[in-house]
Amino acid sequence: MNRYNIAIIKGDGIGPEIVDEAIKVLDAVCSKEDIELSYEEYLMGGNAYDVTGNPLPDETVDGCKKSDAILFGAIGGDKWDGLERHLRPESGLLRLRSELGVYANLRPTSVFDELVDASTIKPEVLKGVDLFVVRELTGGIYFGQPREKNADMAFNTMVYTKEEIKRIAIVAFDSAMKRRKQVCSIDKANVLEVSQLWRETVEEVAKDYPEVTLSHMYVDNAAMQLVRNPRQFDVMLTGNIFGDILSDEASMISGSIGLLPSASVGGKVGLFEPIHGSAPDIAGQGISNPIATIMSAAMMLRFALGEESAADRIEKAVALVLKDGYRTKDLSDYGAKEVCSTTEIGSIIADYVAKI
């Protein structure tokens, strides 16, 4: 029996409802595989600020660092938007990523055949898309110093060291070796010095991976190519801000932002979370789609715990549930046999997990 300690951060908005469903599915996996998970819950985000005055209490950082992996929902909401920057929910999440040293954000995007009509992109463009964004997460313009804002002027600094570029490039090439062996590195090397160093360093790392084909693309072109012909991409390697934007764009390929998982790895403990936010507009109504969080739990089993068969089991169950026509409200117009609430679809996925 393999035993793991999982830190759970439910967060704000729909966070608690989607994480509860992921735990339900993980418990179903444990009943079928030789795994035991124990959960410890921690506060982060607006709810943590309300209780402790701090969006990332020390207890959360300590607990996460001691765990084997962290499963996280989402944070944020209008209620906390007026706070000073360091007290806002997002600053808690940025700080946690930084504390954990999780410099690599992995975002797979593929299309479930049954949902090919759910995207705004034509089905013939989408069929067979299977891409994997590797985004640098702890450097670049979101963290660069100096940064300043006054009434008349504001600036941020985009900075990358060679070492930071090298380690994220290695993650991208290693990922490509397990996939179709193509890396497309995204930059703005025609304008930014940071991107020129990025490109040179990626070229150097590529020499250690002779089987992988490397191409470069400017970020503006990549934004266009993602909707023109997304099948051309295997692994997309990006810096922090470019990856933030492109991976949200890529999410529309799958039809709903409620489907896509992510993993933030590279430090001692990995953080697994859906790519969407806390969706305050639908929180508490029982209509949020928990699949992105459930798929994040599958990524956690695979990438943090090495439990490949358990991860496969969840991914197969989700695909079958969608194939059999179960949908949450965000996907109700696309082949729905039955429209389910958040808890209903979580229970159905858990049942499928236990029976396949």
Minimum distance of ligand NAD from residue 124's CB (angstroms) = 26
Which candidate in 187, 234, 244, 330 is catalytic?
A: 244
Q: Which residues bind ligand NAD (CB under 6 A)?
A: 14, 18, 74-77, 90, 93, 257-258, 273, 276-282, 288-289, 292, 330
| Catalytic annotation present for 181 | no
Q: Which of 68, 113, 174, 248 is an active site residue?
A: 248
Q: Measured from the CB atom, is 121 or 202 closer to ligand NAD?
A: 121
Confirm if 217 and 186 have CB atoms less than 8 A apart.
Answer: yes
Between 128 and 284, CB nearer to ligand NAD = 284
User: How far is residue 332 from each of residues 124, 151, 318, 338, measured CA to CA in Å?
Assistant: 21, 46, 16, 8
- Measured from the CB atom, the residue of 250 and 292 that comes closer to ligand NAD is 292
Strand blocks (E) in the chain: 2-11, 35-42, 69-74, 104-110, 130-136, 148-149, 154-155, 182-187, 213-218, 235-238, 261-265, 271-274, 326-327, 338-339
Told to judge if 334 belongs to the known catalytic residues of this protein, a careful annotator would answer no
Looking from the CA of 64 toward its CB, the CA atoms found within 13 Å total 29
Min dist CB 282 to ligand NAD, Å, is 4
160 carries an active-site annotation:
no
Is 234 labeled as catalytic in the residue annotation?
A: no
**Is the CB of 203 or the CB of 281 nearer to ligand NAD?**
281
Of the residues 10, 24, 188, 329, only one is catalytic, namely 188
- The residue annotated as part of the active site, out of 142, 160, 209, 352, is 142
Q: How far is the CB of 218 from ligand NAD (least distance, A)?
A: 25
- 40, 18, 63: which is closest to 273 by C-alpha? 18
Query: Nearest Cα to 166, choosing from 237, 106, 112?
Result: 237
Closest CB 193 distance from ligand NAD, rounded Å: 29
Which CB atom, from 230 or from 261, has the smaller least distance to ligand NAD? 261
Asked if 32 and 312 count as a contact pair (C-beta separation under 8 A), the reply is: no
Rg (CA), the chain: 20
Nearest residue to 287 via CA among 332, 323, 349? 332
Q: Tell me, yes or no, if 220 is annotated catalytic.
A: yes
CB of 185 to ligand NAD, least distance (A): 24
User: Which residues carry out catalysis?
Assistant: 142, 188, 220, 244, 248
